[in-house]
Amino acid sequence: GAILIAFTVPFLWFFGLHGGLTVGGMVGPLLTANTAFNAELQKAGILDLAHGAHIVTQQFYDNFINLTGSGQTLGLTLLLVLFAKSAQYRQLGKLALTPNLFNINEPILFGIPVVMNPIMGVPFIVGPVVNAILLYMAIATGILAPMGAQLPPWTVPTVISGFILGGPSYAIAQFVFLIISTVIYFPFF
């Protein structure tokens, strides 16, 4: 399910459809129920997989699948700002950086464009899928604890939302996933 969600959000965006709203509308009730169940386990002091905690929750979706916006584009934005040879792309990166820090990436999606661009579509779709698999495995193997009741708004910047979710371990995880998505974008950039 996590892979399907992580794939579908950017896949729909590739065709110009708002993947986050479309997929979020369909899976939101399920993810909210999973989050509420984990909150009850946390309240009881037994938030772990052995007691039935869910891995895929609203936080998983908001703060990891959509890390820095659909398609995890902050890495691409940083590449534009730091390494673009074109003055136009460097300027686009500078203009898009602030909104992208708050998980709003439409300036990049339509400015490069990523939408309907088969070259940029590859890392745009692959990055969230890779990171969703890595996060799922990290929680399933006990490297990271399941997420509990903390539910930061989706606009809280990366790393800060990680601290809210689960302290330094989740902040570091978000930072690592940001680096991974940047590395995935680099050859296509």
Closest CA to 92 of 71, 78, 75, 104: 78
Q: What confidence score (pLDDT) does residue 155 get?
A: 94
Structure confidence at residue 73 (pLDDT): 96
Sign of CA dihedral 120, 80, 168, 29: negative
In the numeric block, which tokens belong to residue 27?
């899976």
* Residue 25 buriedness (CB in 10 A; 0-12 / 13-18 / 19+): exposed
pTM confidence score = 0.94
Burial 41-67 (b: 16+ CB within 10 A, else e): bbeeeebeeeeebbbbbbbbbbbbbbb
Mean pLDDT over each residue of the chain, to the nearest integer: 96
pLDDT band at 37 (very low <50, low <70, confident <90, very high): very high
What's the pLDDT at 84? 96
